[in-house]
Structure 1
Amino acid sequence: MPQETRSLRRTAAFQLADRPGRPAGVRLAQEIGLAEPLDFVRTAGVWRLDVELPDVARMEYLFEIRDGHGARTTIPDPANPRRALAVWTPVALAPEQSAPLLQASRLSAAS
């Protein structure tokens, strides 16, 4: 789940624990126009990406996992229980925004 840093600039830190099979790469998939690069860096068993956030109330995102053969798959952020209702993607909210419509506990019941 992204951690928001409070300062004049709004930033978020995304993390993903290393997974079985050791991904060759992890990238943030989003559609709000974040500045490149969006590739995570692996350090001490954790993939991490810090990004500057634009002035938006929320953003939907996925993690794109690349294996050693170049195959890519997207997954929701396993550390973020917030999900968008229509597409089941994690949602990062600005601090002043209310919780999303659907929580993870309701997601598991729907699966």
Structure 2
Amino acid sequence: MANALSTADVSAAIGAGAVFNIAGSASVRADGVNQAKAKGRSISVSLVGMGLLNATATASGDDKATVGGGAKIKAGSLSLQANGIDHADADNDSTDISGLGNIGFSIASATVDPSVAPG
């Protein structure tokens, strides 16, 4: 069995009640990358055999750029940006050599569940 899990959360924020006076532009940006890769490998040699090979990869995370309640921002411009990239790969590779018979099961599962939000 091979499992890979990547669930990092990334946030950039101006806190509640903050006060900013900026002559030029202001930028709040959160960039997150989650990558999960699982590879299951098996080799079996038997007279009679049975095997299970399972690989699971999950990439999910929250990427947020926020301005808290009551914040006062005086600026030429304000940019609020959140970017997220999530990628998951699951792969199985099995080699079985059997004299009389062999039963094998292989399951590969990849899940991507991103949450990206400016707010």
Q: Which category of TM-score, normalised to the shorter sequence, fits these structures?
A: under 0.3
Q: TM-score, normalised by structure 2?
A: 0.23
Q: Which has the higher contact order (CA 8 A, sep 6+)?
A: 2
Q: TM-score, normalised by structure 1?
A: 0.24
Bigger share in strand: 2
Q: Which has the larger radius of gyration?
A: 2
Bigger share in helix: 1
